[in-house]
Amino acid sequence: MTTRPSSTPARVRFHPGALPCALLLLAGALGCSSSSGTPSPDGGPALNADTVRFLEQSTFGPTEALVASVQDAGFSSFLDAQFATPASSLGTYAVNLEPPAVKCPTGSPPNCYRDSFTAFLPAVQFFHNALVGNDQLRQRVAFALSQILVVSDGEVNSTYGMADYQQLLLDDAFTNYRQILQDVTLSPAMGRYLNMVNNDKANPAKGTHPNENYARELLQLFSIGLVKLNSDGSVVTDSNNQPVATYDQSVVDGYAAVFTGWTYPTMPGVAQKPHNPTYYRGVMEAVQANHDTTAKTLLDGATLPAGQTAAQDLKGALDVLFQHPNLGPFIGKQLIQFLVTSNPSPAYVARVSAAFADNGAGVRGDLPAVVRAILLDPEARGAAQSAPSYGKLREPALLAANLARALGVQSDGVYLRNASAAMEQPVYQSGSVFNFYPPNYPLAGTTLVSPPSTLLDSTSVLTRSNFIYALLFATINPDPTIPGATGTSAPLTALGTSAADAGALADRLNALLMHGTMSQPMRQAVVNAVNAVPTTDSLDRVRAAAYVVGTSAQYQVEQ
Amino acid sequence: MRISRRSFLEALGAVGVAASFSRLGEGRAFAQTAPDYKALVCVFLFGGNDGNNMVVPLDSAGYAAYAAARGAIGAGGLALAQAQLLPLTPSSGTAAYGLHPNLPDVQTLWNDGALGVVFNVGTLLAPTTKQQFLQNSVPVPISLLSHQDQQHQWQTSLSDQYSRTGWGGRIADGLGKGPLPAVISISGNQLFTVGASTSPLSLPAAGGSFGLAGFDGSAASNARLQAMTDVRMLQEQNLIVQATQSEATAALSASKLVAPVLAGTGSTVDGLFAGLTSSLALQLKQVARMIAARQTLGVGRQIFFVSQSSYDTHNDQLNRQGALFSDLSPALKAFYEATIQLGISQQVTTFTLSDFGRTLQPASGDGSDHAWGSHHLVLGGAVKGQQTYGAFPTLQLGGPDDFTSQGRWVPTIAVDQYAATLATWFGVSAADLPTVLPYIGRYPTANLGFLG
């Protein structure tokens, strides 16, 4: 299927009233001038609104140059090219042996802990890559996956271990979900995070049972969820209108027994042991003697016979999981929420589930097909969506990256990483396996959900505004503790060409940041702020405009 | 998955609840002198605190049963040494239970008569025995053993649905409008704090800032602020935009009042927290500072939410829980002492919540797995302390309280009852209690008696 950018671009210059023109166009109103027209000499290039929206969903943010390029290539070609683009690197980090008695003994470099035992540096690189990497869609999908298949340095105290795990998600982002289940399950970082590593079969002498942590969260968070779903994502209920559970404790027991008998990869030059010491490079290794070889009861009555190896049981258990009908709607709906909108219609979820079930060539779980279905769906596309329930709050990392890319900010990633953390989203450092926010967080006063609104409270809403102020107005010098740091700067020179004309400046930000949805009263407010700055000070005029737009709820909620 | 406001009201109707509230403390609660000031302080222990190692039987038979099931330390087990336990000696008689050795300040609070322990509390939908659970003859909370769901159910008391409001917020719904939201979280957004008609305030922990930066009073700056305000006040169709605008408006309004309090360096309570650097201590310090400023702020009833993370001790539990308790113990004591210094220890009650307890039987890796009922701490001058409340479970794998074979206790006290006791003390009338806790009528008592 080939979808070209809309032939009726919705870039607008004049708004007759408070309603976005897209709404008025839907209603058949005239007076919304919607010509793609020749850009005014000081107004920047003409931007197709649907292309801008598409890039909000599929990248870390549109730039004027990228919009122009995708307008030429078309969405489908852009996707094909992105699927083929290899992953950016999160950096190369030395292996730190663990557990040393003291991680950073006296005499270590001052930031030894941060730079060797946390995800700080890979997260800095994440933001740098988000600004400059060509694998934009891969990075977006991997970021979504990192928030579904969560590993955090709260437990994996290892810079290289965290980087290797997140790199795995980048590399696997356009493979098959079965492959991801396999690779994540055998990742030593995940093994450590959810205690599958060195998980031994029940030991009657010690009175211990197999550790349930990975089994439970694999079922609950990484694959099928707690309750049975229809293919449109709606919950299957029983005769008492109660949700039907997907599994009970006996199934958790079964999966916990499956995931016994694995240890860390054997370090080069070190003899293998039943419980290898901590080592995050490579994949976990089976230790058959520690594996539970009894028969196991899995989902919906599926069983594994007694006497299998650890690898056989693992394959069989993941195969059962992969075929479960919940998998498509459970993962597909969350990917829609991460990329497009918090409250997709059941029909949208069903279309994505169908793509998950069959990519058109009989293959289940093909992620490029799922991503394509999500981004080219009619509910994702169009110049604007007008339903009051549509859209999503930009989560901190995406807010920071979107603004930075649109405004031409140059950054080594340090400040953006720190700002995102201050706005309650420390990338790769989630407080728990439940991510920074749950997929069903209720939007106060409505019947909707708004997962990223978990992170929007009366403190962080001010932090967001203060971040935007600092990004635009402050000088952010290189952090001297980080080798090669270059700092963050927003020269705003590209937008400066529109600075003399407040209206043109507002229109340009409207097109680039809000895909043409800015109302006339909002535009007027931006113009007022700009016109309070002398025309001789073009930098501060751009800053004023970008501040008012950037801090607005109208922009921060991507519609 | 989502529960609409209507179905919430239907749920209330289904248990015969009057929809209206009498206004708690109306007309006097917010008087400047606020002689009847009261505060509830929720300390949520995220991850599922292992109550089995927080309170341990001291008598020989009880300890032997505990030690047998928990297993020896160093051999994959989790049993704390009997001699290390800190006795919880009642006002008369001998100690039947001991505290984890890293809770010495909690022991002190007990000895001072300010702290009580409530046994085996958990999410329920009706009084439930093991037999009833296994026979499926009573309704059972949805998604037992799941962190997120059980956290929500502890915070909402509604274990048969995905409630959009919490019992802290629903108490606040009955309080009338004050100068600040009655519920304040120092731990970000939490369902506990959300009411049907009220929204919480979220503040940073001590040391954090709470204000808008970047305005210097120049003409350009004033125009930018005005433009920002104009945009925030625009009527918008999109519901997520509306909610985001509202959050900013509420924040800016509260910031004017609260920022000076938070920025002040001379709060009289600060010294009591000297040397305490844990996240929980900084949160409780902020609560203490807010309470110290209650007359300036003109508030009469407040509900605070603070939390501690990382109780999900699937492995290495002895070290992990020990470290968490080392933070919890002095923070609780410093906070209680702050209320004494402020002369309102009788008017502030602090209590713990947590996802669930943990299996008595250890899991591979020196940890324990998700379970159900667990023990909780209640603290304050109004607490009838130095006592335990409720029935201690039989520490036996597969025994009368274990609904599995790994030591998971069927709760004998419902979250609803625990919450009702606190709400009643706070001033919620018996008639209004079902509005806050819709299922409270299902239990034999709404007052566990731990508050005077």
* A521 near B CB under 8 A: yes
Whether the pLDDT of residue B76 is over 90: the answer is: no
CB A539 within 8 A of CB A496: yes
Is the pLDDT at B272 greater than 80? The verdict is yes
CA dihedral A230, A235, A237, A243 (to 10 degrees): 140
Which residues of chain B make contact with A227, given a CB cutoff of 8 A? 1, 142-143
Interface test with B, best of A435, A448, A459 (most B CBs within 10 A): A459
Q: What's the per-residue H, E or C state across A449-478?
A: ECHHHHHCCCCHHHHHHHHHHHHHHCCECC
What value does the mean pLDDT take over residues A494-508? 96
Q: What is the pLDDT of residues A279-338, one digit of tens each?
A: 999 999 999 999 999 999 999 999 999 999 999 999 999 999 999 999 999 999 999 999
Tell whether A423 is within 8 A of chain B (Cβ): no
Residue B219, burial from CB neighbour count under 10 angstroms (0-12, 13-18, 19+) = exposed
B381's CB contacts (< 8 A; 6+ apart) are B114, B339, B340, B345, B346, B347, B348
pLDDT at A20: 39
Q: For the residues A41-59, what does the mean pLDDT come to?
A: 89
Q: What CA–CA distance (Å, rounded) separates A220 from A224?
A: 6
Which residues in chain A are contacts of B64 at CB distance < 8 A? Answer: none
Q: Is A206 within 8 Å of B254 when comparing Cβ atoms?
A: no
pLDDT at residue B386 tops 70: yes
The overall longest dimension of chain A from CA atoms, in Å, is: 82
pLDDT at residue number A384: 75
Using the predicted structure, report yes or no on whether residue A32 has a pLDDT greater than 80: no
**Mutation choice for A interface testing from B233, B239, B305, B358 by most A CBs within 10 A:** B239
The predicted model gives B142-148 an average pLDDT of 96
H or E stretch at B134? helix B130-135
Cβ pair B202:A442 closer than 8 A: no
Q: What is the pLDDT of residue A99?
A: 62
Q: SS3 of B82, please? A: helix
Contact B363 A208 (CB under 8 A): yes
Residue A462 Cα, gap to closest chain B Cα (Å): 6
Dist CA A90 CA A182 (whole Å): 22
At A16 the pLDDT is 33
Question: Rounded to an integer, what distance in angstroms lies between the CA atom of residue A263 and that of residue A281?
Answer: 12
pLDDT band at B209 (very low <50, low <70, confident <90, very high): confident
Quick: pLDDT tens for B351-366: 999 999 999 999 999 9
Q: What per-residue confidence (pLDDT) applies to B25?
A: 39
The mean pLDDT of chain B is: 92
State the pLDDT confidence band at A19, using cuts at 50, 70 and 90: very low
- When scoring B140, B244, B402 by the number of chain A Cβ atoms within 10 A, the one with the most, hence best to mutate, is B244
DSSP state, residue A290: G
Query: Does A25 have pLDDT greater than 50?
Result: no
Q: Is the pLDDT of residue B424 over 90?
A: yes
Q: Report residue A22's pLDDT band, with 50, 70 and 90 as the boundaries.
A: very low
CB B437 within 8 A of CB B418: no
How large a percentage of chain A has pLDDT more than 90?
A: 87
Determine the Cα–Cα distance for residues A551 and B247; give it in Å rounded to an integer. 13
pLDDT, residue A34, reads 36
Residue A512 has pLDDT above 90, yes or no: yes
Task: Dump pLDDT digits (tens) for A405-442.
Answer: 999 999 999 999 999 999 999 999 999 999 999 999 99
Considering chain A, what is the average pLDDT of its residues?
92
What backbone torsions phi and psi does residue B359 show, to the nearest 5 degrees? -60, 140
Distance CA A444, CA B169 (A): 12
- Smallest Cβ–Cβ distance between A434 and the set B147, B202, B238 belongs to B147
Number of other CB atoms surrounding residue B33 within 10 Å: 10
Mean pLDDT, rounded, for A238-267:
96
Query: Is B231 part of the contact surface with chain A (CB cutoff 8 Å)?
Result: yes
Among A2-11, A105-114, A482-491, B183-192, the least confident range: A2-11
What would the DSSP string read from start to end of A35-100? ---PPPTTS-----HHHHHHHHHHSS---HHHHHHHHHH-HHHHHHHHHHSPPPP--------S--
DSSP symbols for A326-391: THHHHHHHHHHHHHT-SS--HHHHHHHHHHHH--SSS-SSBHHHHHHHHHHSTTT-SS----TT--
* Average pLDDT score over residue span A370-380: 98
Contact (Cβ atoms closer than 8 angstroms) between residue A452 and residue A466 = no
Question: How many residues appear in chain B?
Answer: 452
Contact criterion met (CB below 8 Å) for A521 and A501: no
From B2, which residue of chain A is nearest by alpha-carbon distance? A447
Could you read off the pLDDT of A321-338 as tens digits, one per residue? 999 999 999 999 999 999
- Examine the pLDDT at A212 and tell me if it is beyond 70: yes
Structure confidence by residue, pLDDT tens digits, A121-168: 999 999 999 999 999 999 999 999 999 999 999 999 999 999 999 999
Our measurement of the distance from residue B177's CA atom to the centroid of its chain's CA atoms, rounded to an integer in Å, reads: 23
Report the percent of chain A where pLDDT is more than 70.
92
B269 to A25, A221, A237, B266, B335: CA distances (angstroms): 60, 43, 52, 8, 9
Q: Please count the residue pairs, one from chain A and one from chain B, whose beta carbons lie less than 8 angstroms apart.
A: 267
All residues of chain B having their beta carbon less than 8 Å from the beta carbon of residue A198 are: 364-365
Question: For A105-113, what is the mean pLDDT?
Answer: 89
The answer to whether the CB atoms of B220 and A533 lie below 8 A apart is yes
Closest residue to B239, CB basis, from A201, A243, A448: A448
| Among candidates A434, A531, A532 on the partner chain, residue whose Cβ is nearest the Cβ of B148 | A434
Q: Which two tokens stand for residue A518?
A: 């800015």
* Residues of chain A positioned with their CB less than 8 A from the CB of B202: 457-460
Selected residue with higher pLDDT from A29 and A513 = A513
Q: How confident is the model at residue B267 (pLDDT cuts 50, 70, 90)?
A: confident
pLDDT in tens, B339-352: 999 999 999 999 99
Q: Which range, A14-18, B12-16, B79-83, is most confident?
A: B79-83
Q: Residue B75 in contact with residue B318, Cβ under 8 Å?
A: no
The alpha-carbon gap from A216 to the nearest alpha carbon of chain B, in Å, equals 8
Neighbours of B136 (CB within 10 A): 8
